[in-house]
Amino acid sequence: MIKIRIFDNTKEAGIYAASLAEQVILRNTSTVLGLATGSTSIPFYDALVRFCNEGLNCNGVTTFNLDEYVGLPSNHPQSYRHFMDVHLFSKVKISDMNIYFPDGTAADLKAECNRYDNVLKDYELDFQLLGIGTNGHIGFNEPSHLLLSNTHVVSLSKDTIQSNARFFQSELDVPRQAITMGVQAILQAKQIVLMAFGYDKAKVVAQAVQGQIRTDLPATMLQLHRDVTFVLDAKSSSEL
């Protein structure tokens, strides 16, 4: 059963989601967080940074990000690594050695995916933060007739390219490919928190929670997990 929590605004929702992460961090001496990027996740990072400023100790935290665009170096303003630096890593004490990211500029992308999986297999994700695409993607596991369990290179769907064009000068500048963690690593996380806000996510949120499990709507896979919480606002929950 997916737990649903609905908040008046995205700030409150971010505080709730970050407090779930805080509980995990406080329970463990070393905590492994799986992290997402995108505009929905910003209130989560704002709240987590605030908690750290108020005394939460993140020294023992290790992080794995879900995905990265192919071709963008880590200092590119639209790379996901840069997003994380801006919203979290530059503001809290998480050691650089404990931050893991797929490298979208690797010469051999397949080898890079294997490298990421090899690191991942030595860790257990205690907490996985997710956003959701309007097409139902999680990470960059795009709708398809099949889903891949391991980290892989994915061709971004038209929907995703159009929706992410808002961050680039034009749609043509959006990278066509990304590296993403597969559904196995996501589903093996002990706890999953998916955040979604706004009317444009309402339909897909309802399908993810109540619809049939299908690979062309990857977020429906979350119904198979024991501990998933959807953190929503009134708009994104309006079709439930």
**Binding-site string for ligand F6R from residue 80 to residue 119, where x marks contact by CB under 6 A and - marks none:** x---------------------------------------
- Outline where the chain has alpha helix (H): 10-27, 42-53, 80-84, 109-120, 158-164, 183-187, 202-210
Q: Give the distance from CA 32 to its chain's centroid.
A: 14
Which one among 48, 49, 52, 66 touches ligand F6R, defined by CB under 6 A? 66
Q: Which of 128, 147, 162, 125 lies closest to 220, judged by CA?
A: 147
Residue 175 in the binding site for ligand F6R (CB under 6 A): no
The two tokens of residue 137 are 């993607």
CB of 140 to ligand F6R, least distance (A): 6
Which one among 38, 102, 175, 182 touches ligand F6R, defined by CB under 6 A? 38
Q: Which of 45, 234, 83 lies closest to 164, judged by CA?
A: 83
Write out the catalytic residue numbers.
Answer: 67, 135, 137, 142
Contacts of 81 (CB under 8 A, 6+ apart): 65, 68, 74, 101
Strand order of the sheet with strand 152-155? 67-69, 177-180, 152-155
Size of the site for ligand F6R (CB under 6 A): 14
Strand duo 228-233 + 192-196: pairing: parallel
CB of 66 to ligand F6R, least distance (A): 4
By beta-carbon proximity to ligand F6R, the closer residue of 166 and 226 is 166
Strand duo 99-100 + 61-65: pairing: parallel
Which one among 30, 39, 155, 210 touches ligand F6R, defined by CB under 6 A? 39
Using CB under 6 A as the binding rule, the residues of this chain from 113 to 152 that contact ligand F6R are 131-133, 137-139
CB of 215 to ligand F6R, least distance (A): 16
Q: Which residues pair with 63 in a beta bridge?
A: 33, 99
CB of 233 to ligand F6R, least distance (A): 12
By beta-carbon proximity to ligand F6R, the closer residue of 60 and 168 is 168
Residues that bind ligand F6R (CB under 6 A): 36-40, 66-67, 80, 131-133, 137-139
